[in-house]
């Protein structure tokens, strides 16, 4: 088991008000799964992703990543865990504009304290793997959106993490480029990577093998083995079911 | 580093602060060496007694008390009454033109005795100095400075030749060694170019260039004390002695080079405090400027901080990154400031004529200070960056 979440709660304090972003979420994910988390905005899916990526901690409940419970870890250990085990892919790519493409890919390796030459070599290999070897010296703003996202994926993969967390990876891309990125992610899944994708696009969720529907900080439904199944149909069924209650 | 111009402007405070430190220390160091050299010239074990020209009421008072100024007799009195004195030599300036044939020299004629070389640590290069016999017989002989020799004789030996001083003919018996002198204009003690001096026996000076009103008048008396510790008490004794013989008329002043040195150090300290304050204020303002720009930079780069945190940077990593940048900026400012300071020291040297010396320690101190400014004023922005919530930073647009 790669991920185990037990009764996660997350409460934000906004002045006088308390916002319950997660209200008791439990699930587990095995190695090699490709999971989509779907839900409307405010459903808690982003909060869940931040906790899974070790960027945030639950207010209560426990989160165990690859056998390591994150409660009680200090900033240094949590950051190291994030660095080694997790690769993030964001909707808006989140590349550092001042750095060129290969330097961007190297950033996670800097925090692994890898030496300069090895770092460059690994980063170039990764860029080669996503088909951008020839763009290594360009600045991100000289590249197209699709290329930017490929760089971000290369950056997520460069530390050879156990888990790839993708937050609306195609949200800023046109349909055709989005398709290409999804194919790239699919290929990673086929190579045995564990992928978790947060999206509100049902069409993209179809690519995954498992599908978690969230609403109001809770898991509404968790569909397994969705390969070839009618995800859209299941989603509407689950929503209707919810509304009927 | 997209804001090179902005960073440069930010560091101006540090640049000027460091430049001020460098320039200040170079002036201080130069003045110290200058003073030391001049005091060495006067002799650290020496006491000088200078005649003071009185005017108005004081001159009338001196007349009524029958004090006829500093005299050769004062010197003899000191020599015979103060046991801690090793040697006493009188110095009397003779105001007369120096000629050889048609050539005139801008030399200064000084009547003194055989002890002059010993007291002033200044010796003869060629021939001999004035002897006790020259004094007792008031001979018309002279010893000339190296520059006078060059002016009047070129490269020929002047020994045995005659030159005219005023209306009298003098035979040259010796040439003094060349004394190297700094060309410092802001010297604490005015020193004439002793290479332009001509020495004649004091007795000859008093007799041949007689001042009818004050026949034994001398301009200076140089006293050499047996050891450095005795300078202070000896000066006290001499002061008491002269007070009595001059009937409390202050027509002389006693100068102790060692005391002048101490005084110049006090002046130096005031100067250092003033310049140090200017430098400190400049560095403070510079530091605040850097802090300000770094705070702006932290806000501007919130997104980058979020990204780096997501990719595994610890709070410590972010702190280090921003602290490094601040120190880099201020240390760069420090280096520019050091260069500017060296240039300033040179300019001061050329235009104000002050001696300036750049010591290695002042460069190291300045560089250290600039790096310290970076650390002190970089801590706050760097902590702010490190303590940012990574999720909020990632969402920042």
Q: Complex ipTM, two decimals?
A: 0.93
Interface contact B394, partner A, CB < 8 A: yes
Model confidence at A193, pLDDT cuts 50, 70, 90, reads very high
Coil, helix or strand at residue A65: strand
Asked if residue B187 has pLDDT above 70, the reply is: no
Which chain A residues are within 8 Å of B315, Cβ to Cβ?
75-76, 79
Q: Which two tokens stand for residue A12?
A: 């934000």
CA distance B303 to chain A (A): 8
Query: Which of A79, A83, A151 to mutate to probe the B interface, most B CBs <10 Å?
Result: A79
pLDDT digits 0-9 by tens, B59-117:
777 666 666 778 888 888 888 888 888 889 988 988 888 888 888 888 889 999 888 88
Please name the residue that has the structure tokens 């320690």.
B361
Average pLDDT over residues A217-236: 74
Average pLDDT over residues B292-297: 92
Asked if residue B221 has pLDDT above 70, the reply is: yes
Nearest C-alpha in B relative to A106? B311
Coil, helix or strand at residue A109: helix
- Is the Cβ pair A111, B311 closer than 8 Å? yes
Asked if residue B56 has pLDDT above 90, the reply is: no
The residue among B277 and B61 whose pLDDT is bigger is B277
- Is the Cβ pair A111, B316 closer than 8 Å? no
CA distance A53 to chain B (A): 8
What does the pLDDT read at residue A116? 94
Interface size, chain A vs chain B, as Cβ–Cβ contacts under 8 Å: 58
CB neighbour list of residue B190: distance below 8 Å, 6 or more residues apart: none
CB neighbour list of residue A215: distance below 8 Å, 6 or more residues apart: A39, A40, A43, A242
Model confidence at B188, pLDDT cuts 50, 70, 90, reads very low
What does the pLDDT read at residue A231? 65
Average pLDDT over residues B189-203: 79
Model confidence at A121, pLDDT cuts 50, 70, 90, reads very high
Mind giving me the DSSP string for B283-322? Answer: HHHHHHHHHHHHHHHHHHTHHHHHHHHHTT--HHHHHHHH
Interface contact A179, partner B, CB < 8 A: no
- Is the Cβ pair B312, A159 closer than 8 Å? yes
- Is the Cβ pair A94, B306 closer than 8 Å? yes
Highest mean pLDDT among A124-138, B111-125, B194-208, B275-289: A124-138
What does the pLDDT read at residue A3? 94
Asked if residue B1 has pLDDT above 60, the reply is: no
Asked if residue B184 has pLDDT above 70, the reply is: no
Model confidence at A100, pLDDT cuts 50, 70, 90, reads very high
Query: Which of B1, B303, B305, B311 to mutate to probe the A interface, most A CBs <10 Å?
Result: B311
- Average per-residue pLDDT for chain B: 85
Average pLDDT over residues A118-122: 95
Which chain B residues are within 8 Å of A162, Cβ to Cβ?
none
- Is the Cβ pair B310, A159 closer than 8 Å? no
Exposed/middle/buried for residue A57 (C-beta within 10 Å: 0-12, 13-18, 19+)? middle
Asked if residue A59 has pLDDT above 90, the reply is: yes
Asked if residue A190 has pLDDT above 50, the reply is: yes
Coil, helix or strand at residue A92: coil
Which chain A residues are within 8 Å of B304, Cβ to Cβ?
96, 98
Domain architecture of chain A: domains with CATH: 3-244 (3.40.50.300)
What does the pLDDT read at residue A228? 56
Interface contact A94, partner B, CB < 8 A: yes
The residue among B379 and B253 whose pLDDT is bigger is B379
- Is the Cβ pair B311, A108 closer than 8 Å? yes
pLDDT digits 0-9 by tens, B352-364:
878 888 888 889 9
């Amino acid at each position: 088991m790669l991920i185990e979440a037990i009764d996660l709660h997350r409460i934000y304090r906004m002045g006088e008000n308390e916002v319950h972003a997660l209200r008791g979420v439990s699930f587990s994910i095995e190695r090699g799964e490709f999971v989509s988390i779907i839900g409307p905005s405010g459903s808690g899916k982003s909060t869940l992703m931040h906790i899974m990526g070790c960027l945030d901690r639950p207010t209560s409940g426990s989160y165990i990543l690859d056998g390591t419970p994150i409660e009680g870890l200090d900033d240094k250990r949590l950051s190291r865990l994030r660095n080694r085990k997790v690769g993030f892919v964001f909707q808006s790519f989140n590349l550092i504009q001042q750095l060129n493409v290969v330097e961007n890919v190297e950033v996670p390796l800097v925090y692994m304290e890898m030496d300069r030459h090895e770092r460059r070599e690994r980063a170039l290999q990764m860029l080669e793997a996503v088909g951008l070897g020839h763009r290594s010296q360009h600045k991100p703003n000289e590249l197209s959106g699709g290329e930017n996202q490929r760089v971000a994926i290369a950056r997520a993969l460069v530390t050879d993490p156990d888990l790839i967390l993708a937050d609306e990876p195609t949200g800023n891309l046109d349909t055709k480029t989005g398709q290409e990125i999804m194919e790239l992610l699919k290929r990673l899944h086929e190579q045995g990577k564990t992928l978790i994708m947060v999206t509100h696009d049902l069409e993209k969720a179809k690519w995954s093998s498992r599908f978690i529907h969230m609403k109001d900080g809770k898991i509404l439904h968790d569909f397994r083995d969705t390969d070839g199944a009618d995800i859209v149909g299941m989603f509407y069924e689950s929503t209707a079911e919810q509304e009927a209650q | 580093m997209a804001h090179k111009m902005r960073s440069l402007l930010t560091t101006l405070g540090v640049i000027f602060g460091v430049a001020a430190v460098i320039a200040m220390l170079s002036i201080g160091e130069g003045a110290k060496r200058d003073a030391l050299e001049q005091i060495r010239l006067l002799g650290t074990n020496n006491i000088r007694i200078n005649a003071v020209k009185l005017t108005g009421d004081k001159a009338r008072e001196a007349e009524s008390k029958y004090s006829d100024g500093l005299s050769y007799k004062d010197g003899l009195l000191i020599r015979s009454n103060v046991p801690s004195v090793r040697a006493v030599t009188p110095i009397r300036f003779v105001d007369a033109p120096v000629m050889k044939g048609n050539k005139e020299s801008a030399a200064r004629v000084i009547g003194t005795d055989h002890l002059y070389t010993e007291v002033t640590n200044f010796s003869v290069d060629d021939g001999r100095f004035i002897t006790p016999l020259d004094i007792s017989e008031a001979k018309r002989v002279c010893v000339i400075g190296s520059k006078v020799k060059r002016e009047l004789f070129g490269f020929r030996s002047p020994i045995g030749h005659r030159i005219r001083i005023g209306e009298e003919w003098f035979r040259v018996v010796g040439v003094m060694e060349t004394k190297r002198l700094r060309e410092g204009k802001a010297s604490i003690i005015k020193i004439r170019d002793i290479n332009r001096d001509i020495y004649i026996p004091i007795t000859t000076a008093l007799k041949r260039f007689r001042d009818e009103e004050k026949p034994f008048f001398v301009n200076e008396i140089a006293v050499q004390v047996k050891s450095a510790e005795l300078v202070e008490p000896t000066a006290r004794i001499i002061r008491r002695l002269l007070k009595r013989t001059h009937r409390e008329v202050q027509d002389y002043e006693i100068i102790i080079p060692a005391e002048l040195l101490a005084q110049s150090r006090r002046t130096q300290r005031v100067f250092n405090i003033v310049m140090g304050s200017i430098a400190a204020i400049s560095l403070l303002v510079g530091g605040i400027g850097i802090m300000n720009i770094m705070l702006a930079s932290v806000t501007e780069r919130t997104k980058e901080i979020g990204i780096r945190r997501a990719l595994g940077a610890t709070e410590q990593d972010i702190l280090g990154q921003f602290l490094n940048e601040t120190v880099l900026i201020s240390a760069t400012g420090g280096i520019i400031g050091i260069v500017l300071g060296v240039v300033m020291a040179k300019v001061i040297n050329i235009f104000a004529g002050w001696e300036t010396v750049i010591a290695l320690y002042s460069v190291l101190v300045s560089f250290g200070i600039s790096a310290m400014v970076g650390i002190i004023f970089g801590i706050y922005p760097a902590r702010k960056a490190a303590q940012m919530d990574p999720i909020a930073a990632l969402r920042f647009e």
